[in-house]
Structures are given as structure tokens and as C-alpha cells.
Amino acid sequence: MTLLQNRTALITGAARGIGRAVAKAFSEAGARLILADLEAPDTDGFHAARAIALDVTDGAATTNVFSELERDGWLPDIVVPNAGILHLADITNMEEAQFTAIIDVNLHGAFLTAREAARCLPAGSVIIFTSSLFGVQASAENAAYSASKFGVTGLMQAMAADLALRGIRVNAVAPGQIQTEMIEKLVAARRAEGKSDPRDRLITRIPMGRLGQPEEVAGAFVWLASDLATYVTGQTIVVDGGWQVG
């Protein structure tokens, strides 16, 4: 595939999960990559990639990263603010520190990455947020995560309006129930607390009868990043196996 040939993409949270799958799909479509995570991710298997360590909640560090990339000739024209964390709890048991941490990474971190991108990206560039099914439809035990992802959806729409006349498109992909390491850790923690595996209940809500795989989400990012979607901005593509219609 050459949909993204001669393009440069920055993906945060690129060490694993959906971020990693998006990076692989972008690479297969011809893009060179800037992979960012708290620790610089592995670049093995990518034809052209640069790894950086970045705490997305650190505004000064984010500014410095974009300045460094521009100086080195690696300024991206595709930016995916993807880094995120998850903690499920009933609202009465949600600790303030947990709520704050989720908002800080998922929403504040996405804002910082997208803001710095918006300040220096040329016309024709694309920003694609990773939202969530729970950023368009909340559920029990999801107060902090849903608040962060609803915020991402609103941020995306506002930025799309701000940047449209500059020729920068801004969209979001909202994955549903996807089998990632983050979900595995969540399941392990719940089992340690004597709770049931939530995937059993979730699958009954999905018409396709299974969780999705990260690779099945990545295609939506490729399409939005490509010239196949040049008139698409301010939109959220939900990739959920039919959850909302089930």
C-alpha cells in the first residue's frame, strides 16, 4: 500500500495496543514513523521510524519534542494523540487521584499533543484522536474514562472548526471493546478482587459476538489520514462490532 507514502506520522502511546497497531498500519501504508511513549518504544520491524520518550502530560516536554522534530526534518503531517489509561470503578468508589490521573493523560495529554501539532503543522496535515465507544455512550463504572473520552470528542470537534480554513483536518476514531494489554491488566485486577471477567458480559452486547483486535481499528486511522478522506473533518468513526445497534 502507498496511501501514506511520503508522509510522516507521530503516534503517542505507540509501545503497545491500538497505538502499536496504528503504527504498523501506517508503516505498511508507506509512512515513516515517530513512535512516542513514556519510554522510547522499540522500532524493530518498521522501515523508517524514530522513537522518542515523552510524558504527554508535560507541556514543556511536548513543545520541545515538536521543536526537535522540526529542526531535524522530522516534522509530522499526521499526528495521533493516542496515549491513554483506564481504571474502572463505581462513582462512589472512584478516588480523586484516579479520576485526575485519567483526565490528565487521556484528555490533557491529548490536548497538549494536538495543540503543539496545530501550532506548526502545514496545510494538508491531519490530527486523529483516539476516543472511545465510551466517549459517545457512557456506561457503569466508567465515570473517569468516559469523562476523558467525551472531552476528547469535544476537543476534536472544536479543533476541527478552528483548523479547517488552514487545511488541517481533525477527526477521531472511537474503538469499542478491543482486546489489548490494557484490557488484560484490567481483567487480571478484577479477578484478583474476586470479580468476574467482564469480557463475558461485554461479548453478549456485541452483535459480532467477539472483542475486536487492535489491527481491526487501525484501518480507520489509515483511511482518515489518507487522501481518501480529504473532505472529512470533525467526525468520529466508531469501530465497535455493532455494539451501538446490538
Catalytically active residues are: 145
Cell of 76: 509530522
CA distance 246 to 243: 5
Q: CB–CB of 183/202 below 8 Å? A: no
H or E element at residue 175? strand 169-175
How many whole angstroms from its chain centre is CA 48?
A: 21
The Cα 132–Cα 173 span in angstroms is 7
Question: What sign results for the dihedral spanned by CA atoms 214, 219, 224, 226?
Answer: positive
